[in-house]
Amino acid sequence: MVQAGEKIGDFLIKAELGRGGMGTLYYAIDTMLNREVALKVIHPHLANDLKFIDKFKTEAMTQAQMNHPNIIIIFCFRKINSHHIIAMEYLRGNSLQEVLQKKKQLPILDALSYLKQILRGLNYAHTRHIIHGDIKPGNILIDSTRRIKIADFGIAKIFGDFGNKNESQILGTPIYASPEQILGKDVGVRSDLYSLGITFYEMVTGAVPFYSETDSSLEIEEAHLNKPPPRPSIFNPNVKIQVEDFILKAIQKKPERRFQSAIEMLEKVDSLFQTKRRENES
């Protein structure tokens, strides 16, 4: 394991930020450019899988071509000695997951404002035929100016291409997964929007619609597939009927009943945002 103070090539490791299914994330300094970076070092057991590395390199190159204010910028993907690393933009702030752990639920207007930014980033990616595949609060970053950045595009897809279903779930819980993901079908635009709908549900209620008291993945998956979600207003009476109907449309089990594009969803969010702002001002 890499320790603070060590160097990987030109990258000076300053602190560990977290660990995930793919690797360990560090705060580092690119000493060549005197630039802060978030440096992901891929786990050794994955770094030794050449097929995985080739696939990941392709996905990293695709993400590196994206340049949008609401998407984390990828700087490079390299092998340095025994380490495969990906260097990306470092964002000072917190993940949406961390914010929700502290606040439980967000004011409706704040949540809609964040949702607009996320949808702008997703629309940019989707129009370039790039699917995220793992939208959840942990992959939504918020800086000190309340700007949103989406991280880890395409990572779920990479894991899904290797090994069986259980191995692909190394990324995390199935709480935000769409029914088609659970069934092993192709992940597309509407799957990202479903996961975003689940995320927005949690933003305004402090709860998720499908869960298991025993943390059983099978129970959660079964609920995504077959159980109707509780109405958000049960958890938060400030969620009025227009916002509630919006959420319930976003998390319809059949893709054809959801919003069909990020721009369609964004147009509805803009309308809800303006209505809510007028209510707050009156």
* Phi, psi (degrees; rounded to nearest 5) at 232: -55, -30
On whether the CB atoms of residues 269 and 119 are closer than 8 A, the answer is yes
On whether the CB atoms of residues 228 and 154 are closer than 8 A, the answer is no
On whether the CB atoms of residues 40 and 92 are closer than 8 A, the answer is no
* Residues with Cβ within 8 Å of residue 197, at least 6 apart in sequence: 247, 249, 250, 251, 258
> Is residue 143 flagged as an active site residue?
no
Q: Which of 103, 97, 111, 89 is nearest to 200 (CA)?
A: 111
Q: Which of 67, 93, 123 is nearest to 269 (CA)?
A: 123
Sheet holding 11-19, edge to edge: 7-8, 11-19, 23-30, 35-42, 83-89, 74-80
The tokens describing 43, both together, are 């786990």
The tokens describing 158, both together, are 């990479």
Give the active site residue among 10, 54, 134, 215.
134
Which residues are part of the catalytic machinery? 134
